[in-house]
Chains A and B, each alone.
Chain A
Amino acid sequence: MDLSFVILVEMLYAVSSLILISAGLAVVFGMMKVINLAHGEFMMMGGYATITAVNLGVNIFVSMLVIAPITVGLIGLIVERLVIRHLYGRLVDTMLATWGLSLFFIGLATMIFGNTTTGISTPIPGFAIGNFQINGYNFFIIVVSALLLVGMLAVLKSTRAGLIARGAMQRPDMAAALGYSPNRIYMATFFCGSALSGLAGAVLAPLVGLVPTSGGAYIAKAFITVIAGGPSLIAGLFSSAGLFGVVSQVFTFAISPVIGEVALLVAAVILLRLLPQGITGKFFKGKL
């Protein structure tokens, strides 16, 4: 009984962390049809921002939830102005350029922080469920990603900015016709997307050893989750993260973590073969 609860928590955690690591990419892809392959490096920078801030004596939660997203968001803003805006509408070119950016940031981080594993301890102690000890930080991640989804939904549904964003998602020309500068919408979107990436990297930092190349571990999963999710932002994110998280955890518990990861990837291939437009390309159409 305790074990099944622990497994349930692990599954929720797997789904949550997939949501967390994909959210930034999903926002940018959903709104701008830009695949930001430097997303993993944005996460990595979020991690370094957190660790640096903590080492400077800032409270860890402030570092993770405030400093890291803003720092990375601003970096994203600079990237958007310097590179991305010249490439709108050229999907493959933006992918290549952001791939270049990802290498650039890996190099930059290596020069600044050195190619050494760094890390911080988790700020939340573990606790017992029956006979089982469980990592308290997992709950924190579950809560953060749940709040994230709710927050995104609220913003999209009930704010003016959300309305414009929804319009821009469905008809990019519409927003312009309504008098909103697409330029500014894109800037704001990229800022938000980058900030979300930074947040994800920051929140996950205490769990893993951070190296400049850490981002590579996330980008593939995030990319797969977003594409498999399909056109709807939140429904897509939730459904594909749910599917992949559960699949990978089932195989992780049944066999091994490696098989879990491979199962996730195989599931992605099968899914895309069956539903080339992603899950929400077929189901939950028209949802957010």
Chain B
Amino acid sequence: MPGQVHNPGGLQKDLMATVIVTGLLVWLMPMLISTYTLTVLIIYGMLGLSLGLIWGFGGILCFGQAAFFGLGAYSYAIAAINFGESTLPMILAVLVPAVVAALLGALMFYGRLTDVYLGVITLVVTLILFKFVNSTAGPQYVIGKARLGGFNGIPGFQTLNVPGRPEAYIWGDAYFYVCAVLLALVFVLVTVLLRSSFGRVAVGIRENETRMSLMGYDVRARKTILFAIGAAIAGLAGALFANWGEIVTPSLFSLGQSAEIIIWCIVGGLGTRLGPILGAAGLAYLKFLLGQQSLVDNTLITGLILVLFVLFLPRGIVPAVSGLWQSRIGRGRRSRRPQTRRGAISRERFNG
């Protein structure tokens, strides 16, 4: 039936595609890039996806997504030092940011704060976290057995192990596979979420909050929940990052980190699931490659990319490419829309 919203076959196809693409990438990519580098690209991809979900599909522009990334990493590190086993810390790393985000989200959304004000609050909360964590070098800042360490960060915590066996570390190539599978898993969960009624309502809220509330949806609660889900994903990415770097430092909370996540989403494409992941991995790798030359400063190029994308390709790469592909193949069933942010985030929506 045309225009049908529910399309279970589509979901199955999507899942199959995810599994096949993941499998191919996990097999092929290590031939091109070392797994150590790939691992961090995957982690950044997950972080990009976390913002891509709440911004691209929920219209919540969070200037402080790095706060949840950092919270996840710190929760993991502190718990890992205290428990000496990584399973519970991994779970906490997802839960703590989610709970914090739920509280913060409730504060913001029930206060009817929107766009700029939302930006200010998320930015300020990130700054507070950064300043606080950065000034905890003294011996009085202890959680259980873990010194917070301030500027030094927390090194030397228990890294990921096979659940129940603290001495069986997962590192190197094995860790790469774990991260890849987790990213695929998160991707699938996001897909399922977006296909569910909750996901569709979220897109509706992104498009027109007032209308959705006039239709009887509690916009505040739904935005809060979506915000918390995004934070949970960012937290997971943070824990994985902590395991990869074997240290957590306050710079995880920095505004620079938040800025980068936003840039990934813009460049990759908002309103798509793949865009933020590809944007994150691509730009992070580009940054590594740029380190090879000293002709032009790295930050300068990042900035230029952002400006150019906002001016000339506000929809991002993935929607632009898929749009091109569709019109080539003659399947341009979706018409062009003016190139504004609204249009930009409307590409991939109900049918996933």
Contact = CB atoms under 8 A, between A and B. Distances in A.
Do any beta carbons of A and B sit within 8 angstroms of each other in the complex? yes
Contacts of B127: 220, 265
Interface in A229-284: 258, 261-262, 265-266, 268-269, 272-273, 276
Nearest 8 interchain pairs by C-beta: A107-B300, A103-B303, A100-B306, A104-B303, A107-B297, A100-B307, A107-B299, A97-B310
A35 interface: yes
Interface stretch (B43-51, B108-116, B233-241, B275-283): B108-116
Q: Is the interface of A mostly helix, strand, loop or mixed?
A: helix
Interface in B249-287: 255-256, 259, 262-263, 266
B111 A35 contact: no
Interface stretch (B71-79, B128-136, B220-228): B128-136
B117 to A, nearest CB: 6
B31 interface: no
26 contacts: A92-B115, A93-B314, A93-B340, A93-B341, A95-B119, A96-B262, A96-B266, A99-B259, A100-B306, A103-B299, A103-B302, A105-B303, A107-B297, A107-B301, A107-B302, A223-B120, A223-B123, A224-B120, A258-B131, A258-B135, A262-B128, A265-B124, A265-B127, A269-B121, A269-B128, A273-B113
Interface string A68-84: 00000000000000010
B142 interface: no
B116 A227 contact: yes
B310 A272 contact: no
B107 interface: yes
A157 interface: no
Contact of A107 (B131, B132, B298): B298
Contacts of B259: 99, 103
Contacts of B111: 272-273, 276
A24 to B, nearest CB: 17
Nearest to B342: A90
A64 interface: no
A223 B340 CA distance: 25
Contacts, number: 122
Contacts of A93: 310, 314, 340-341
Contact of A100 (B108, B119, B303): B303
Interface string B44-67: 000000000000000001000000
Interface residues of B, number: 45
Question: What interface size band does chain A fall in?
Answer: 35 or more
Contacts of A268: 120, 124
A276 B120 CA distance: 11
B28 interface: no
Interface string B6-18: 0000000000000
B215 to A, nearest CB: 24
Given A96-B310, A220-B255, A227-B116, A90 B107 contact: no
Interface of A: 35, 83, 86-87, 90-93, 95-97, 99-108, 110-111, 216, 220, 223-224, 227-228, 258, 261-262, 265-266, 268-269, 272-273, 276
A103 to B, nearest CB: 3
Interface in B296-321: 296-311, 314
B125 interface: yes
B131 A261 contact: yes
Contact of B113 (A35, A104, A107, A276): A276
